[in-house]
């Protein structure tokens, strides 16, 4: 009897441990997409809230087959809106990758889609959340090279999104890898004005043509401007990876990969970005053939080999789309890696999911138990909370190299046994770009800081959700800090777990009522602001300001320059409504600055022009 009882305990425990964390819900939620590409490389995923209803939608590239756009109905299912939204205009294009971003700062997210050799890249403008319109020609987008990934970032910090298009190889026939003529130069495209794009005077010092599959604007040196990581395929034959640090004062991006030990020669496919060890610096995992390089930042930018520290590498097969995200809401990041061979025949390689276990201070491979280890040819991958339950779901786009191959795009819903605690934050820039790309968000609890970056495309051919997500576990939250690309800093102390917040730059933090909204614009609760008024503007020698709505016992006023450096700090006591305060700026050089008033609860910033 005792032995049977012990066996029962063992069996129940084993059954519990083997319970899947994710469920393949592709068919039941209404997704039916196939990517077909004899050249093996297509299969992008873009997460986009097309109509600003708070339910995130999915765009999938199809290679030689049609792209598809799926609109989230808000009930856990999707509708194929490809034709209704005009996305079927892509039917005649051989598409590869996709990235989303508000390119004209009108509040609606647009799409940029890369294509195969001989075809132009395509930009789909989002018209008021109603339909897409092709604007590539009139906007000035150029090039007919084989483009792969595209990354977005405000490189010149002028408040709009620029583009860096990764180009692959020039080839003379199929299969491409046996007929390569040369590597291709990448393209930086400057956003000059509303729907006017073109070449830039920005100099990429030390740039070399390479076979680039993924590039990403990310703050490598921790100075709050977008640097650029370029990851190349065929690195052992052609060009190693490149790292360009942003030098806005000289209008340059300067190549520094060798100096930082990041000039790896590899067959690079994707970039995962996250502060894995919680030291306040972003770490970088690169998907590859075989072993995947992992750069663990000690101090920015000094890097150690993360594979010597963490168990996140099986050293086998072909790795593609990848990302760090907190998938179980325990406050620690997981690592997902999409796997897939380049063989025309059945050659199973299984996706990987590594979860951090604080009890061993390392990662564990839970791919089989998680239910995400399908044997198809994985390419693009992205995460988003698709059913708004606070848990991040996964989208993986598989490719068929032959039409009779198996494999289609898959959606995995997160079935975590407990929802866990979380915070979600939707950002909307005003001085910064509307999408909030390049912003960093820090969550403080005791001696821990969790850090996220809103990145405009990094996983292979794809972009993740731009809604910032923190799993908070059992943390007691002290504060939430948002660092905007404009240089504005906003901090908030009264923040609760299991909340979805909305923050418009310079305004107060508000609850986003996404579950009940019927508007095409975000619906938020009203919040009390300082009603900060700055005058005169432009100013010289002295800035005067007052607040019109509240009294403050204690607050601070800061003046930041355009790079986010604090120029002036002043403590304020017993501040009354409609009482003017002044700030001496006789030592400040002419230029654009941001005056920010901050107390323990909220922050508000105003743009100030200083003149001679």
Domains of the chain: 34-414 (2.130.10.10), 421-512 (2.60.40), 531-610 (2.60.40.3080)
Which pLDDT belongs to residue 4?
40
Average pLDDT rounded to a whole number, residues 134-163: 93
Strands (DSSP E) contained in 248-326 are 252-255, 270-274, 283-287, 294-299, 302-305, 319-325
6 vs 556 pLDDT, higher one: 556
Are 604 and 506 contacting, i.e. CB atoms less than 8 angstroms apart?
A: yes
Average pLDDT rounded to a whole number, residues 106-125: 96
Are 303 and 280 contacting, i.e. CB atoms less than 8 angstroms apart?
A: no
Cα–Cα distance, 340 to 148 (Å, whole number)? 17
Q: Which alpha helices (DSSP H) does 190-246 contain, by range?
A: none
Interval 363-396: pLDDT, tens: 999 999 999 998 899 999 999 999 999 999 999 9
Q: Which alpha helices (DSSP H) does 281-388 contain, by range?
A: 367-370
Which pLDDT belongs to residue 440?
97
Rg of the chain (C-alpha set)? 24
Instruction: Give the other-Cβ count within 10 Å of 476's Cβ.
Output: 8
Sign of torsion over alpha carbons 456, 458, 459, 461? positive
* pLDDT-derived band at 603, boundaries 50, 70, 90: low
On average, the pLDDT of the chain sits at: 89
Which pLDDT belongs to residue 174?
80
Closest of 98, 107, 99 to residue 129, by C-alpha: 107
Tokens, residue 262: 């990041």
Which pLDDT belongs to residue 300?
67
How many CA within 13 A on the CB side of residue 391? 17
Average pLDDT rounded to a whole number, residues 523-548: 70
Are 465 and 382 contacting, i.e. CB atoms less than 8 angstroms apart?
A: yes
According to DSSP, residue 308 is labeled G
Average pLDDT rounded to a whole number, residues 21-30: 96
* pLDDT-derived band at 3, boundaries 50, 70, 90: very low
Average pLDDT rounded to a whole number, residues 318-345: 95
Closest of 155, 150, 180 to residue 167, by C-alpha: 150
Which pLDDT belongs to residue 514?
57
Tokens 């039917």, located at residue: 91
Task: Give the number of residues written for the chain.
Answer: 612
Closest of 375, 387, 609, 597 to residue 508, by C-alpha: 597
Strands (DSSP E) contained in 38-179 are 45-48, 57-60, 68-72, 78-80, 95-101, 110-115, 122-127, 131-134, 147-153, 162-167, 169-171
Considering only 148-157, 171-180, 368-377, 383-392, which range has the smallest mean pLDDT? 171-180
Average pLDDT rounded to a whole number, residues 312-326: 95
Average pLDDT rounded to a whole number, residues 527-538: 71
According to DSSP, residue 578 is labeled T
Average pLDDT rounded to a whole number, residues 253-274: 96
322 vs 524 pLDDT, higher one: 322
Which pLDDT belongs to residue 557?
86
* pLDDT-derived band at 124, boundaries 50, 70, 90: very high
Which pLDDT belongs to residue 301?
73
Average pLDDT rounded to a whole number, residues 41-58: 96
Q: Is the peptide bond before 74 cis (omega within 30 degrees of 0)?
A: no
Which pLDDT belongs to residue 288?
97
Average pLDDT rounded to a whole number, residues 580-600: 84
Measured in degrees and rounded to the nearest 5, phi and psi for residue 173 equal 175, 170
Cα–Cα distance, 383 to 381 (Å, whole number)? 7
Which pLDDT belongs to residue 416?
81
Cα–Cα distance, 114 to 121 (Å, whole number)? 5
Which pLDDT belongs to residue 189?
96
241 vs 559 pLDDT, higher one: 241
Cα–Cα distance, 123 to 297 (Å, whole number)? 35
Sign of torsion over alpha carbons 380, 384, 386, 390? positive
Cα–Cα distance, 417 to 320 (Å, whole number)? 28
Tokens, residue 310: 């963490």
CA distance from start to end of the chain:
91
Which pLDDT belongs to residue 606?
77
């Amino acid at each position: 009897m005792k032995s049977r009882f012990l066996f029962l305990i063992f069996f129940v425990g084993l059954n519990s441990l083997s319970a899947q964390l994710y469920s393949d819900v592709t068919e039941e939620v209404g997704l039916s997409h196939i990517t077909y590409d004899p050249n093996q490389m297509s299969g992008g995923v873009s997460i986009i809230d097309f109509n600003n209803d708070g339910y995130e939608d999915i765009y999938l590239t199809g290679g030689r087959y049609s792209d598809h756009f799926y609109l989230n109905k808000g009930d856990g299912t999707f509708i194929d809106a490809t034709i209704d939204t005009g996305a079927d205009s892509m039917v005649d294009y051989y598409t590869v990758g996709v990235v989303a971003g508000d390119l004209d700062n009108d509040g609606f997210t647009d799409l940029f889609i890369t294509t195969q050799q001989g075809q132009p890249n395509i930009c789909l403008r989002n018209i008021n959340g109603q339909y897409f319109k092709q604007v590539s020609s009139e906007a000035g987008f150029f090039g007919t090279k084989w483009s792969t990934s595209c990354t977005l970032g405000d490189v010149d910090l002028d408040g709009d999104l620029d583009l860096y298009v990764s180009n692959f190889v020039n080839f003379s026939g199929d299969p491409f890898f046996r007929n390569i003529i040369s590597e291709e130069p990448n393209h930086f495209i400057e956003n000059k004005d509303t729907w006017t794009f073109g070449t830039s005077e920005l100099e990429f010092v030390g740039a070399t043509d390479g076979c680039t599959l993924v590039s990403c604007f990310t703050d490598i040196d921790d100075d709050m401007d977008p640097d650029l990581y370029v990851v190349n395929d065929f690195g052992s034959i052609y060009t190693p990876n490149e790292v360009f640090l942003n030098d806005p004062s000289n209008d340059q991006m300067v190549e520094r990969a060798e100096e930082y030990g990041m000039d790896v020669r590899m067959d690079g496919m994707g970039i995962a970005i996250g502060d894995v060890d919680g030291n306040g610096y972003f770490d970088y995992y690169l998907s590859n053939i075989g072993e995947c390089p992992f750069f663990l930042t000690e101090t920015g930018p000094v890097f150690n080999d993360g594979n010597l520290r963490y168990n996140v590498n099986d050293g086998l097969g072909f790795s593609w789309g990848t990302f760090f995200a907190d998938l179980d809401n325990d406050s620690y990041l997981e690592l997902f890696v999409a796997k897939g061979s380049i063989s025309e025949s059945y050659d199973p390689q299984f996706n990987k999911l590594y979860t951090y276990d604080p009890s061993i201070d390392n990662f564990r491979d839970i791919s089989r138990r998680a239910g995400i280890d399908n044997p198809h040819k994985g390419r693009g991958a992205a995460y988003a909370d698709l059913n708004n339950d606070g848990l991040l779901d996964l989208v993986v786009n598989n490719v068929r190299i032959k039409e009779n191959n198996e494999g289609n795009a898959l959606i995995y819903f997160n079935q975590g046994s407990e929802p866990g605690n979380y915070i979600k934050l939707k950002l909307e820039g005003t001085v910064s770009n509307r999408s909030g790309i390049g912003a960093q968000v820090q969550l403080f609890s005791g001696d821990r800081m969790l850090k996220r970056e809103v990145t405009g495309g990094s996983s292979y051919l794809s972009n993740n959700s731009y809604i910032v997500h923190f799993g908070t576990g059992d943390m007691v939250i002290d504060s939430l800090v948002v660092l905007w690309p404009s240089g504005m800093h906003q901090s908030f102390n009264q923040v609760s777990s299991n909340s979805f917040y909305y923050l418009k730059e310079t305004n107060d933090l508000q609850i986003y009522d996404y579950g009940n909204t019927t508007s095409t614009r975000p619906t938020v609760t009203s919040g009390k602001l300082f009603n900060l008024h700055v005058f005169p503007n432009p100013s010289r020698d002295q800035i005067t300001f007052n607040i019109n709505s509240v009294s403050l016992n204690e607050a601070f006023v800061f003046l930041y320059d355009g790079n986010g450096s604090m120029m002036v700090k002043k403590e304020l006591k017993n501040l009354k409504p409609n009482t003017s305060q002044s700030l001496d700026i006789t030592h400040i050089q002419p230029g654009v600055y941001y005056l920010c008033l901050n107390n323990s609860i909220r922050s508000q910033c105003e743009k100030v022009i200083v003149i001679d």
